[in-house]
Chain A
């Protein structure tokens, strides 16, 4: 599973100091950048397959880097952040970052996120038409959802919601992204829609709606469709 090149953008030398040997041992090639400018230069010249980005950089805001990269590339971006910077994290996700991980984190958690993000890239490239998780099967061509072969009836909006989450399986999808894609930009802030619909959908697709295993809540950020791994 190796060969991927990961760019670590962080100005704290001690973070770089443990990420380099750890990611190298996990089979990735590591390149480092300490500032936003260095990061953008490295993205353009060293062609990384994934970026791990700290939001607090000495020369520019991490969000600026995300915005800049998204202007010309769909390169997966994982945000490193602290809990007290919730709103910046969500803003970065809304700008197109793929996932986030909170400091302090275990290396296993980080490598899992990296794998998901990289797989997602290949999946989108190949154009996925069928998704299966834990007995739940989604056929995007026929717009059919079945659980253990039994069809599940979803309203069109519910189906769109599930599809949006499933297409980004394993990654967090922000409230805003869900609302904009399912209900349209005018409803970007109508959080209560989501609460109601997610509740209904869980009732239909989860084995135990009170302990959801497929659609997980990321408090304050969004929802995550649990991928087919782990």
Chain B
């Protein structure tokens, strides 16, 4: 291995180059690092800003804390300053850095003081370093200032040194990722001097803390930390440079640390120590927890502490793993080998005496089996600060009290019962009753209750049933032995029973979870529509979590609330901002996260293989989800993301299929129209050319016939074109039917007369009821409709005459046109009114336009009537087209006038 390394080409490490490329797109971060307030960071920053400004650079002052120092304020003169944003908060106005304005202005470089600042509650990000990260992401260079004490990994050291807790902390990664770190150094003695001269600004409420903070010893220690950090960075940069430029080692640190943590309070300390160890060794470090597969009822406080510790580890720059396994030692070693760890860091507490005899501690077991891997044990002490998140202790205490109470009550009952039957039953059997009490306690309230019940039983048994009665002394030695056997048996069975109970409870919970997920996936598999998926998801989540749930999906490029439970949930402006953030960055936002935490909802991106498909919002007002709920949430969201993705794809493919169908329809339509236009044209051209070229070889009748055919085909062509134009008029909605009084009989007679001329061979019979009422309509349009119907009947109507009827039917006038042709199959009866619908292939059927009936319908409806087709009409043959027009009451004037 070493040999091959040596012979390897001098090629730059691709990872190093990639990291460099990533850096080049973002803005550059410059941090002015100081050991303590007052060393002159802001002053140095502004001095440099002036120089850049004088050289013609584009530099903007985003925010600077001058703390009323005149010399610093003087430096600001002439520099472009961004106005601060005023945020109303509890009746006061808080001035904050205006992130959006800065992004809008897009300067080349921006100065934003106080990296560790915590933003006002209504801001987008809770911390200023997150604002700065967004600026950098937008490609803006940022200069900022930081005191070493705010570095997260050093916070406990600083607290130890100074005795003052550090409230505002920033993750170490922020400093690590800085492109440039400038150390602003001032010897502690000089700083104290400045302090005395009042040159260091201190807020009034911090004055007391300052007394203990600004001591020579403290300041020296902090300065040491700052110098050392900077030196480490220089070292890192050297290594980076070596890697990028393919300069051969010795690159330090092939060290990899595996840090094992658990839900205990010691873990946080383990992580902090490991972090310092890792940065000291310049080592890669992985933080892992091994969670038992059959973890009994989750210890909520522990679970939350574990989550917090993991978050801390991530902020400090660790990689994290959560592994499930039953054998801790084996799992740790397997993980260590897989990750090529050279050292394992683990927390260990000296075990209390009796346990040490039975069980080896975890570190001991590890050391025994880990060959070639160093084991670093962090020992716990009793001066551990309480966990950072306050754990609700009361409910636990209450529960314990209740358990004990139940156990004692059970024992009391057993005693009473024993006393009652004691007169008839022999003594040793009484102990069976107490054993029963222990079992009942174990089943009802768990292990603790079982132990309490066993002890209580032993005491009560002794007191009431072992002579001498009503004392705790025992006369017979064998009774002492029996009592101890009883106690052991009670403890053992109690323990076993309570474990069974826990397991039953866990498996019960698990089966509920499994059932829920199963139900959900079954529900999803049946739905292909996005709406259904969305509602299924929302109702499922609400059922599983009992919280308000909202689901947002993009709709025409805009994220919109698609479903929520309860259904009338509304999202505020800050909620929508967080949701959009989540959608755009594919990261969680809102309540309980680092971005826009003021939203009442926590927004989680729905990730499918094709990217973010939407955002799910869960209301969590301070109350976080439990571990099992979290897992359930993730499982449901995973499934719904895939289902939504699938629904969207199927919608898309449906749309394409419809488009394809439309394409097919259009090409069929084109073929049809082209045939109908070409046939008359072909006849006319053919007839004309025949007459011209061969006319003198023909007899007169042939010539006349050709001329007639030219005439007829021209008329047909012109009717076709007229129909096309009518259809266009109907479709564009520009048909305006007059509302005149129309005499139907008149219209029928004149149209029939015209039809007889156009279709000379066709017999048309008309039957009109006498004294038909007038209808309101347009006589020209009605004539056109009737002509189209006659034309149709002529084409499809066979040899028998066409019959036309008109009669009054209550308050309607019906007009029907009947032919005795083949008729129309029932399934096509409605379709014949569709545009270009014609039965048969384009070729080989009677020439027509496929427009006659649609036009008829368009006109009839424009006049307020209806049109319908019936087939067969008579004797299983033929077609009847029926028009109906309402009879309106004629005004009196009209009557008298006629």
Contacts and interface: CB of A to CB of B under 8 A. Distances in A.
B590 interface: no
A41 B511 CA distance: 79
B690 A58 contact: no
Contacts of B843: 11, 54-58
Contacts of B841: 56, 58
A24 interface: yes
Interface stretch (A66-74, A100-108, A183-191, A219-227): A100-108
B685 interface: yes
A18 B683 contact: yes
B513 interface: no
B674 A82 contact: yes
B683 A15 contact: yes
Given A14-B680, A14-B713, A58-B845, A84 B674 contact: yes
A14 B685 contact: no
B682 A105 contact: yes
B687 interface: yes
B689 interface: yes
B842 interface: yes
Given A15-B683, A18-B709, A24-B702, A103 B693 contact: no
Given A25-B702, A56-B844, A18 B686 contact: yes
B679 interface: yes
B842 A108 contact: no
Quick one: which of B690, B698, B842 has the most chain A CB within 10 A?
A: B690
A58 B844 contact: yes
Q: Is chain B's interface secondary structure helix, strand, loop, or mixed overall?
A: helix
A12 B679 contact: yes
Contacts of A21: 690, 698, 702-703, 705-706
A30 to B, nearest CB: 12
Contacts of A111: 693
A56 B840 CA distance: 12
A18 B683 CA distance: 7
B304 interface: no
A106 to B, nearest CB: 4
Interface string A78-122: 000011110000000000000000011111101100000000000
A22 B845 CA distance: 24
A183 B487 CA distance: 105
A26 interface: yes
Contact of B683 (A14, A56, A57, A82): A14
B566 interface: no
Contacts of B679: 12, 14-15, 103
A122 to B, nearest CB: 23
Nearest to B673: A84
Interface in B705-723: 705-706, 709, 712-713
Nearest to B686: A18
Chain B interface category by residue count: 35 or more
Contacts of A106: 685-686, 689, 693
A105 B689 CA distance: 9
A116 B641 CA distance: 71
B391 interface: no
Interface in B643-690: 670-671, 674-675, 678-687, 689-690
Given A104-B684, A104-B686, A12 B847 contact: yes
A21 B576 CA distance: 82
Interface string A24-58: 11110000000000000000000000000011111
Contacts of B478: none
B697 interface: yes
Contacts of A195: none
Given A56-B844, A82-B675, A25 B690 contact: yes
A51 B384 CA distance: 108
Interface in B837-858: 840-845, 847
A56 B847 CA distance: 13
A103 B678 contact: yes
A107 B706 contact: no
A136 interface: no
Contacts of B421: none
A17 interface: yes
A18 B675 contact: no
A17 B681 CA distance: 14
Nearest to B698: A25
Interface string A4-19: 0000000110110111
A18 B687 contact: yes
Contacts of A54: 843
B420 interface: no
B702 A107 contact: no
A108 B670 CA distance: 29
A85 B672 CA distance: 12
Quick one: which of A18, A56, A105, A106 has the most chain B CB within 10 A?
A: A18
B674 A107 contact: no
A92 to B, nearest CB: 14
Interface string B596-613: 000000000000000000
Interface in B479-534: none
Contacts of B674: 82-84
B690 A22 contact: yes
B694 interface: yes
B693 A17 contact: no
A17 B671 contact: no
Nearest to B695: A25
Contacts of B687: 18, 22
Contact of B844 (A15, A26, A57, A82): A57
Given A25-B690, A26-B694, A17 B685 contact: no
Contacts of A15: 679, 682-683, 686
A110 B687 CA distance: 12
Interface string B821-844: 000000000000000000011111
Contacts of A85: 671
A85 to B, nearest CB: 8
Nearest to B712: A14
B713 to A, nearest CB: 6
Contacts of A110: 686
Contact of A22 (B670, B675, B686): B686
Contacts of B693: 106-108, 111
A84 B680 contact: no
Contacts of B685: 104-106
A83 B702 CA distance: 29
B716 to A, nearest CB: 9
A26 B697 contact: yes
Nearest to A110: B686
Given A57-B843, A104-B685, A17 B690 contact: no
Contacts of A59: 844
B697 A25 contact: yes
Contacts of B842: 56
B510 to A, nearest CB: 64
Nearest to B683: A14
Nearest to B681: A104
A21 B705 CA distance: 9
Contacts of A18: 683, 686-687, 690, 706, 709
Contacts of B684: 104
Nearest to A54: B843
Contacts of A107: 686, 689-690, 693-694
Given A19-B686, A103-B681, A104-B681, 13 more contacts: A12-B683, A15-B679, A15-B686, A18-B686, A21-B690, A21-B698, A22-B686, A25-B702, A26-B697, A56-B842, A85-B671, A104-B684, A107-B694
30 contacts: A11-B843, A11-B844, A12-B679, A12-B683, A14-B712, A17-B706, A18-B687, A18-B706, A21-B702, A21-B703, A21-B706, A22-B689, A54-B843, A55-B843, A56-B675, A56-B841, A56-B842, A56-B844, A58-B841, A58-B843, A82-B674, A82-B678, A103-B681, A104-B681, A105-B682, A106-B685, A106-B689, A107-B694, A110-B686, A111-B693
- Rank and list the top 9 A-B pairs by shortest CB-CB distance, nearest first: A56-B843, A58-B844, A22-B690, A21-B702, A25-B694, A106-B689, A104-B682, A104-B685, A25-B697
